[in-house]
Structure 1
Amino acid sequence: MQFIPGVILFVIVVGILANGISIVPQAQALIIERLGRYHATWDAGVHLMIPFVDRIAKRVNLKEQVADFPPQPVITKDNVTMRIDSVVFFVITEPKLYAYGVENPISAIENLTATTLRNIIGSMDLDTTLTSRETINTEMRSQLDVATDPWGIKVNRVELKNILPPDAIREAMEKQMKAEREKRELITLAQGKKESAVLNAQGNKEAAILNAEAEKQTAILRAEAEKERKIQEAEGQAKAIRAVKEAEADGIRLIREAGADEAVLKLRSLDALTRVADGRATKIVIPSDIQNMAGLVTALKETASVATPGDGSEKKA
């Protein structure tokens, strides 16, 4: 019977000691209070705490966290009301300040983000707001980082998710965008037509140049062909004349070599004279030395008549 209370006491002691052992995971920190006051910040690892004296006041997540806030109404410099929702990326660098600096850090960051956003957008007009996301993000991150430093929070990035202008302005912007798109399409179409016209003009120019070159080459070839033809004709005529003159020279040479007398030469002259008349001349001037040959020609004709077979009267004679 005395053994049972000892076992119970042992179990109680072991339980108390086990409860005093605390294991802190990686990327977390524990805020330890002793008798209600801040005592220490435990990082990752095994730690011992005094039962009933020390307690874990807060568990702090040291990873980078994302706070997505709902859209906030803001007014631009030109009195346009729009809604903007933002995302804040932050990390806790001082767990003690985070635990004791502000009651609700996330709510504090949300309200601080809304007021900072209103101040920045209030100094911009609508067009600047829609085209200056990067400027707004940088300015907000800088101001939030300074404001949250006493809370042990470092703001790494701030992003504007959506900028929602009023429906009327959004419709006007859509119409403007449509008009700009149609304008760009018309400009593109006009440029395409212009380029097509330029290409056609260049093509026509090149075609005209090629045609002119072809006509020029054709004319040159025709002129060269005509030149060659005339040269060949002239060479042919020269060869013919040369051949005739050579034949005449050969004839004269043969006559001289044959020893022809003056009578034969006169007969050749008479024959040439006959060919000149050719039955068409109405007046022929006969040299005096050829006129003296008339009797000789008559005698030759008679001799030729006797020698040539004819009618019966010639035979009787």
Structure 2
Amino acid sequence: MPIRIESIALIILVVLVLLLIVSNIVIVQQSKAYVVERLGAFRTVWSVGLHFKLPFIERIAKRVSLKEQVADFAPQPVITKDNVTMQIDTVIYFQITDSKLYTYGVERPMNAIENLTATTLRNIIGDMELDQSLTSRDIINTRMRAILDEATDPWGIKVNRVELKNILPPKEIQNAMEKQMKAERERREAILQAEGQKQSQILVAEGDKQSAILRADAAKQAAILHAEGEAEAILKVQQATADALRLLNESSPNDQVIKLRALETMVKVADGKATKIIIPSEIQGLAGLAASAKALLESGESAK
């Protein structure tokens, strides 16, 4: 059975309608917003989710990113209060908070922000001298952020942060600053070197001091030990003398024994280097008695 032309046309029409419907189904991703117009007039802003656009009647006028964005602008020439021309480039961190105002509030928003940034920077730097502008980055950043945030609010833009990336003064001033910084570095290095030498000398002196203290302590301990040894030797000699006297007293010696002991002592004294020895009379008599006894004993032995 042949297929009629009407059926084919109907099938083609259904397919085209389905393609048209599918092509007008729009899915808005996270951190995105779509500005929709109907017949050339603003209709609504689509947020995250599934949406359907009426074909031939509605259109997506602008797709807007709601993420924080960064704009790095080229260096701008600015003149300080003391007539010094510098080159300053800025970085702006901003975020779109109102997609409708961003779409219809200003033509080419990024060019508008760049021009506004350059004008604001010139006005702020123009009220400062060179030294103040080089040392007041935080102040300049804060003032620029406040001015730009207020100015871009009708455009649906919020300026979160402004940073001066580079401040480039004229070449002659740069050379002078480099020389100054080099001199400052050399001064700091000299201070650090002198401080290191000072600490080294202090450590050496401290080491010598500790060494002297240790040597003195060692000599002191040696002297103490030597004195203790001599004292101990004297004590032992005295103890031996006392013991001898005690034993002598215990044995109850008579005068003759005592005199003989004294004679033995004198003999030991005579063994020394003395050239003259004075002998008491009692010991001299005892010595003569001992010599006579010795002669008698020897003559008796020869007679036998």
Is this a same-fold pair by TM over 0.5?
yes
Tell me the distance in 2 between the aligned counterparts of 1:141 and 1:28: 25
Note if 1:59 corresponds to 2:71.
no
Note if 1:14 corresponds to 2:53.
no
Q: Within 5 Å, give how 1:1-317 maps onto structure 2.
A: 3=6, 10=13, 14=17, 18=21, 21-26=24-29, 27-44=31-48, 45-49=50-54, 51=56, 53-239=57-243, 249-250=253-254, 273=285, 275=287
**Alignment deviations for residues 80-129 of structure 1 (CA, whole Å, 9 cap, x no partner):** 32211112222222122112211121111001111122223233343443
Tell me the distance in 2 between the aligned counterparts of 1:21 and 1:222: 113
Tell me the distance in 2 between the aligned counterparts of 1:67 and 1:206: 66
The letter of the residue matching 1:57 is A
**Alignment deviations for residues 245-290 of structure 1 (CA, whole Å, 9 cap, x no partner):** 777825769xxxxxxxxxxxxxxx99962637999xxxxxxxxxxx
**Contact 1:20–1:49 (CA<8 Å) still a contact in 2?**
no
Tell me the distance in 1 between the aligned counterparts of 2:251 and 2:7: 169
TM-score of the two chains, using structure 2 as the length reference: 0.72
The letter of the residue matching 2:53 is L
The letter of the residue matching 2:237 is E
Deviates more, 1:234-243 or 1:187-196: 234-243
**Alignment deviations for residues 132-175 of structure 1 (CA, whole Å, 9 cap, x no partner):** 43333232222211110001111122222222222222222222
Tell me the distance in 2 between the aligned counterparts of 1:129 and 1:240: 105
Pairwise CA RMSD? 4.2
The letter of the residue matching 2:177 is M
**Contact 1:145–1:153 (CA<8 Å) still a contact in 2?**
yes
Deviates more, 1:3-12 or 1:34-43: 3-12
- Corresponding residue for 1:294? none
Identity %: 53
**Alignment deviations for residues 215-262 of structure 1 (CA, whole Å, 9 cap, x no partner):** 222222222222223333334445556666777825769xxxxxxxxx
Give the SS at the match of 1:182: helix
The letter of the residue matching 2:52 is H
Unaligned runs of 5+ in 2: 258-280
Tell me the distance in 1 between the aligned counterparts of 2:286 and 2:98: 147
**Alignment deviations for residues 3-59 of structure 1 (CA, whole Å, 9 cap, x no partner):** 4996699479839954983515324333333444333333343223262x4444333
**Contact 2:28–2:34 (CA<8 Å) still a contact in 1?**
no
Unaligned runs of 5+ in 1: 254-268, 280-296, 310-317
Tell me the distance in 2 between the aligned counterparts of 1:252 and 1:55: 153
Larger Rg: 1
Give the SS at the match of 1:179: helix
Deviates more, 1:160-169 or 1:229-238: 229-238
The letter of the residue matching 2:143 is E
The letter of the residue matching 1:275 is A
**Deviation of 1:307 (Å):** 11
Q: Are residues 100 and 271 of structure 1, via their aligned partners in 2, closer, same or farther at CA, if it must alter by over 3 Å?
A: closer
Q: Are residues 248 and 66 of structure 1, via their aligned partners in 2, closer, same or farther at CA, if it must alter by over 3 Å?
A: closer
The letter of the residue matching 2:65 is N
Q: Are residues 308 and 157 of structure 1, via their aligned partners in 2, closer, same or farther at CA, if it must alter by over 3 Å?
A: closer
**Deviation of 1:130 (Å):** 3.3
Tell me the distance in 2 between the aligned counterparts of 1:222 and 1:20: 113
**Contact 1:24–1:30 (CA<8 Å) still a contact in 2?**
no
Q: Are residues 232 and 103 of structure 1, via their aligned partners in 2, closer, same or farther at CA, if it must alter by over 3 Å?
A: same
Deviates more, 1:126-135 or 1:220-229: 126-135
**Deviation of 1:199 (Å):** 1.4
Tell me the distance in 2 between the aligned counterparts of 1:70 and 1:251: 130
- Corresponding residue for 1:290? none
Give the SS at the match of 1:249: coil
Give the SS at the match of 1:31: strand
The letter of the residue matching 2:28 is P
